[in-house]
């Protein structure tokens, strides 16, 4: 087994972690083994979304100290095919010294033998090793945007990098949760990119996250959201 790698990337607040988690659930629903690796190295946002806790004997730092061996380091979720690798809930800042480009690459390579798909929950920061190594190793990149001026500025700032590391051709673009607070046509014109998918706005997204529940699994949420995530999963699989 040699997992395909998908990095979900975007500006801060674009909703990329939520998209990563729901995409993982859609892939896991197809009887695929899926692991999500967090680029958040000081707190566990994935734990909140899945309603789980990562103890000190598990998680990304324990895996690194184990020689980048990820066996039994991923935390199980309620879906038997879906696992997360994240910092422990009790975090010591000294653990950050273990993170480097080399350890991250070894960590991802070891994870690949255990899953069908690895999803990297990326970071807007270029100096984040999990995100930057994930981008270079990825089969596909899912780029997530909120319709706002900040995301347009971030997009422009990343254009040279996009060409430098040759990721434009393997990028899927998503508009996430348009809430009509900004002119969408003006935003898309500034972006100069045609989105591949648009996820509808989910008014109770934060409530579900705080309760440790996925949008994808919630029957009360707009069915269009789930169908769009399923189409995204199909596109990711075809592109891999």
Is 194 buried (19+), middle (13-18) or exposed (0-12) by CB count in 10 A? exposed
Per-residue confidence (pLDDT) for residue 34, from 0 to 100:
98
**Least confidently predicted of 54-58, 114-118, 209-213, 236-240:** 236-240
Q: Per-residue pLDDT for 240 more than 90?
A: no
Per-residue confidence (pLDDT) for residue 239, from 0 to 100:
60
Residue with tokens 């680029």: 39
Q: Per-residue pLDDT for 87 more than 80?
A: yes
Cα–Cα distance for residue pair 145/19, rounded to 1 Å: 11
Q: Per-residue pLDDT for 220 more than 90?
A: no
Per-residue confidence (pLDDT) for residue 68, from 0 to 100:
96
Q: Per-residue pLDDT for 1 more than 70?
A: no
Q: Per-residue pLDDT for 193 more than 90?
A: no
Per-residue confidence (pLDDT) for residue 27, from 0 to 100:
97
**Of residues 238 and 12, more confidently modeled:** 12
Rounded mean pLDDT, 158-184: 94
Rounded mean pLDDT, 90-97: 82
Q: Residue 84: helix, strand or coil by DSSP?
A: strand
Q: Residue 197: helix, strand or coil by DSSP?
A: strand
Q: Residue 8: helix, strand or coil by DSSP?
A: strand
What proportions of the chain, in percent to the nearest 5, are helix, strand and coil?
40, 15, 40
Tens of pLDDT along 49-64?
A: 999 999 989 999 999 9
Q: Residue 67: helix, strand or coil by DSSP?
A: coil
Q: Per-residue pLDDT for 165 more than 70?
A: yes
CA angle, residues 52, 104, 231, in degrees to nearest 5: 60
The structure tokens listed for 106 are 């070894």
For residue 202, CA distances in Å to 46, 79, 190, 197, 221 come to 18, 22, 25, 15, 7
Q: Are 152 and 191 in contact (CB under 8 A)?
A: yes
Q: Are 3 and 35 in contact (CB under 8 A)?
A: yes
The structure tokens listed for 19 are 């998209």
Tens of pLDDT along 95-136?
A: 888 889 999 999 999 999 999 999 999 999 989 999 999 999
For residue 126, CA distances in Å to 7, 16, 179 come to 13, 15, 28
Q: Residue 34: helix, strand or coil by DSSP?
A: strand
Rounded mean pLDDT, 184-208: 92
- pTM to 2 decimals? 0.95
Cα–Cα distance for residue pair 79/122, rounded to 1 Å: 22
Tens of pLDDT along 34-45?
A: 999 999 988 888
Bridge partner residues of 186 (DSSP): none
Cα–Cα distance for residue pair 87/107, rounded to 1 Å: 14
Q: Are 23 and 185 in contact (CB under 8 A)?
A: no
């Amino acid at each position: 087994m040699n997992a395909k790698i998908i990095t979900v990337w975007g500006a801060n607040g674009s909703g990329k972690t939520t998209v990563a988690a729901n995409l993982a659930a859609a892939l896991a629903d197809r009887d695929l083994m899926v692991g999500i690796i967090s680029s958040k190295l000081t707190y566990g946002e994935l734990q909140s979304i899945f309603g789980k806790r990562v103890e000190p004997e598990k998680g990304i730092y324990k895996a690194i100290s184990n020689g980048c061996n990820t066996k039994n380091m991923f935390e199980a979720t309620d879906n038997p095919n879906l696992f997360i690798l994240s910092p422990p809930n009790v975090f010591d800042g000294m653990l950050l010294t273990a993170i480097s480009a080399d350890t991250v690459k070894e960590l991802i390579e070891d994870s690949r033998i255990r899953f069908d798909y690895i999803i990297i929950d990326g970071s807007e920061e270029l100096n984040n090793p999990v995100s930057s190594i994930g981008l270079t190793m990825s089969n596909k990149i899912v780029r997530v945007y909120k319709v706002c001026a900040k995301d347009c500025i971030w997009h422009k700032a990343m254009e040279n990098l996009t060409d430098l590391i040759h990721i434009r051709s393997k990028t899927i673009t998503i508009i996430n949760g348009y809430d009509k607070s900004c002119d969408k046509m003006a935003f898309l014109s500034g972006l100069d990119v045609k989105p591949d998918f648009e996820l509808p706005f989910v008014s109770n997204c934060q409530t579900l996250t705080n309760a440790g529940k996925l949008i994808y699994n919630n029957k009360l949420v707009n069915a269009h959201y789930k169908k769009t995530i399923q189409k995204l999963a199909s596109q990711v699989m075809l592109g891999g």
